[in-house]
Amino acid sequence: MDVQANIDTEKLVLDLFEVEGVKFGNYTLKSGVQAPVYIDLRVVVSYPELMVRVSEMLWKASQNVKSEYKSICGVPYTALPLATCISAKENIPMLIRRKEAKGYGTKKLIEGKYNDGDNCLIIEDVCTSGSSVLDTVQALKTCGIKVSDAIVLLDREQGAVDVLKQHGITLHSVMGLNQVMEILERSKKIDCEMVEKVRSFLQVNRFTPSTNTQPCQPNQIKKLSFTERGKLCTNQMTKKLFGIMEEKKSNLVVSADFTQSQQILELVDKVGPHVCMVKTHIDIVEDFSQDFITKLLQMAQKHKFLLFEDRKYADIGNTVKLQYNNGIYHVSSWADIINAHCISGLGVLAALKQIGLEKNKGCLLVAEMSSTGNMITAEYTAATVKLAEENKDFVIGFICQNRLSDDPTLLHLTPGVQLKKGSDDLGQQYLTPEEVISKRGNDVIIVGRGITQSADVINTAIAYKQSAYNAYCQLLQ
Ligand code: S5P
């Protein structure tokens, strides 16, 4: 660091301390952990001169970024004004990530102009575990925007560099917490006892990269065919599905989201020869009967496809067990595959497994969603991937938007697919089959209205099937 940079950093640290952006004492963090240091840079918006200085130092740090980028994006909310200052001063386009929850209709997840494949530089104020950066990265990725670098003003030095590195992101920081403490100790703002306290806190409270959390790049995926992958499986349901996919040359699942059983049966009889699986939402069927299930099972046999009930079990273990096995639907008696959100903990999977395992059923874990503003975080996705990898006797893969595991025996099924990229008016977002399979490296597309609302369901299903299967074949070359 040059002399001027040292002077600037020192002055900035003292000013941040002065305005209580950095505080020492006894604080309870969001996580419930007691910490001797508290950093909250939201306060800088009340000191415009300081805000400009912070943004200038962030910009200087960005000079070390080697990759080219088209735009910058501040992690909401504190870094938004910082990114704005940089954008205005340096004349570099900015993107805004919406942080609101779902339900905002057509409002986009990312505001601003961008093209598929653009690289975007992330701006952040403080980094602890890197999870906020990853949330923004994930939102950008959903829109086809790449991220290779992030700039942070203050790295708390608790492991964010390694966590982000595992996700292919280089973190550049203006300063680290140890440097901040040195400056404050030298300036007699804090004593050596406090410095020691913070140092041991940082040592104990470290975040380490978890295994297999990184969405794999398609070029890193082992180029194994469905047949080869099927041979590696010990889970009989996964093996069966790989077999059907290869035999029917179809990695297409149709989502039969109709409310009348007759509509479902008619659809399934038409598209059955072209799909590897039919997905149902059995609780939307208004005239449900055992006879309907019998006919559905007959169709499954006739056209050789599996049945996937998209119930997304998410309650405590005891409840999901009853939902899966009992009620009027008796899902476990007919559905080959079900899915679950593991939001409520390990009990969901344990309970479903108690019922499903001995019936040789399979389960998909919802690791990512297609809807805008969904609240799944990068940590949640990573924990879900770990759970899947530890329960491969019952879990056959994921409902996801990106390839999440490089384990060839786990399947990646992606909903939110239409022949044209777009969205509906209730937050559903669509990617094309090529994007999902070749660019993102997933295995299977799930298509609902793209087929069900078409005037010619058979030929439309064929078009989806060919487009997804060709994309898979291209990956093998
Ligand atoms: O993230 C998800 C997960 C699922 S399973 N997004 C989804 O859209 N789904 C389901 O896929 C959804 O419940 C619906 O049945 C189907 C997509 O339907 P489409 O009409 O939008 O293609």
List, for residues 279-309, the tens digit of each pLDDT value. Answer: 999 999 999 999 999 999 999 999 999 999 9
C-alpha distances (whole Å) from 186 to each of 10, 195, 378 are 10, 11, 38
pLDDT (0 to 100) of residue 419: 96
**Do residues 111 and 432 touch, judged by C-beta distance below 8 A?**
no
Residue 213's pLDDT is: 46
* Dihedral, 282, 288, 291, 295 alpha carbons, nearest 10: -40
Quick one: how far is CA 165 from the chain centroid? 17
pLDDT digits (tens, 9 = 90+) for 158-215: 999 998 998 999 999 999 999 999 999 999 999 999 999 999 888 877 777 654 444 5
What confidence tens digit (pLDDT) does each residue in 14-67 have? 999 999 999 999 998 765 678 899 999 999 999 999 999 999 999 999 999 999
Please give the number of the atom of ligand 1 that sits closest to the Cα of 368. Answer: 1
The H or E element that residue 308 is part of is strand 306-313
Q: 279 C-alpha vs ligand 1 centroid, how far in Å? A: 10
8 Å CB contact between 372 and 422: no
Residue nearest (by alpha carbon) to ligand 1 atom 7:
415
DSSP-derived secondary structure letter, 19: T
Of 50, 56, 61, residue with least CA distance to 21:
50
- pLDDT, residue 290, reads 97
The CA distance from 425 to 461, in Å, is 23
- Give the nearest ligand 1 atom to 417 CA: 22
User: Which pLDDT belongs to residue 210?
Assistant: 55
Q: What is the CATH number of domain 218-476?
A: 3.20.20.70
- Work out the pLDDT band at 102, boundaries 50, 70, 90: very low
pLDDT (0 to 100) of residue 42: 96
End-to-end CA distance of the chain: 48
* Residue 284 alpha carbon to ligand 1 centre in Å: 14
Q: Which residue has the tokens 């208004």?
A: 286
Distance between CA atoms of residues 292 and 297, nearest Å: 9
Is the pLDDT at 108 greater than 90, yes or no?
Answer: no
> In 3D, which of 276, 277, 283 has the Cα closest to residue 258?
283
Q: Indicate if the pLDDT at residue 222 is higher than 70.
A: no
pLDDT computed for residue 129 by the predictor = 85
Q: Phi/psi of residue 39, each to 5°?
A: -120, 120
Domain residue extents for the chain: 3-204, 218-476
**Which residues are part of a known binding site for substrate?**
257, 279, 370, 428, 448-449
In the annotation, is 99 catalytic?
no
Ligand 1: residue of 252, 372, 428 to mutate (most ligand atoms within 8 A of CB) is: 428
Q: pLDDT tens across 349-400, in order?
A: 999 999 999 999 999 999 999 999 899 998 899 899 989 998 999 999 999 9
**In this model, does residue 101 exceed pLDDT 50?**
no
Q: How confident is the model at residue 216 (pLDDT cuts 50, 70, 90)?
A: low
Cβ neighbors of 250 (< 8 A, separation 6 or more) are: 244, 274, 275, 276, 465, 468, 469
Tokens 């938007």 sit at which residue?
Answer: 401
Atom of ligand 1 nearest to the CA of 453: 20
- Cα distance between residue 159 and residue 128, in whole Å: 7
Given a cut of 90, whether residue 268 has pLDDT beyond it is yes
In 3-state terms, the chain is what percent helix, strand and coil (to 5)? 45, 20, 35
What string of DSSP letters covers 411-434?
EEEE-SB-SS-EE-TTS-EEB-HH
User: What is the Cα–Cα distance from 349 to 354, expressed in whole angstroms?
Assistant: 9
Nearest CA to ligand 1 atom 9: 415
The yes-or-no answer on residue 312 being catalytic is: yes
Q: Output phi, psi for 287, to 5 deg.
A: -115, 45
Whether 155 is a known active-site residue: answer no
- Ligand 1 centroid to Cα of residue 344, in Å, is 21
User: Alpha helix locations (H) across 187-329?
Assistant: 192-204, 226-232, 236-248, 261-271, 290-303, 317-325
For residue 64, give the amino acid letter.
N
Which residues partner with 430 through β-bridges?
422
Give the C-alpha separation, 222 to 155, whole Å: 35
Closest among 209, 245, 217 to 230, alpha carbons compared: 245
**The pLDDT value given to residue 47:** 98
Q: How far apart are CA 127 and CA 173, in angstroms?
A: 9
Enter the DSSP assignment of 313: E
CA distance 392 to 402: 19
Q: Which two tokens stand for residue 456?
A: 């010619």
Determine the Cα–Cα distance for residues 27 and 13; give it in Å rounded to an integer: 20
**pLDDT at residue 338 tops 50:** yes
Given the CA of residue 446, which atom of ligand 1 is nearest to it?
11
**367, 339 in Cβ contact below 8 A?**
no
d(CA 399, CA 376): 12
User: What is the share, in percent, of the chain residues with pLDDT greater than 90?
Assistant: 81
143, pLDDT greater than 90: no
Q: Which residues pair with 106 in a beta bridge?
A: none
DSSP SS3 for 311: strand
> 3-204, what's its fold?
Rossmann fold (3.40.50)
Q: pTM of the full predicted structure?
A: 0.62
Task: Name all residues whose Cβ lies below 6 A of ligand 1.
Answer: 255, 257, 281, 310, 369-371, 399, 415-416, 428, 446-450
- Tell me if the bond preceding 114 is cis, omega within 30° of 0: no
Better pLDDT: 61 or 217? 61
> What number of other Cβ atoms are within 10 A of residue 259's Cβ?
11
Decide: residue 254, CB within 10 A, 0-12 exposed, 13-18 middle, 19+ buried: buried
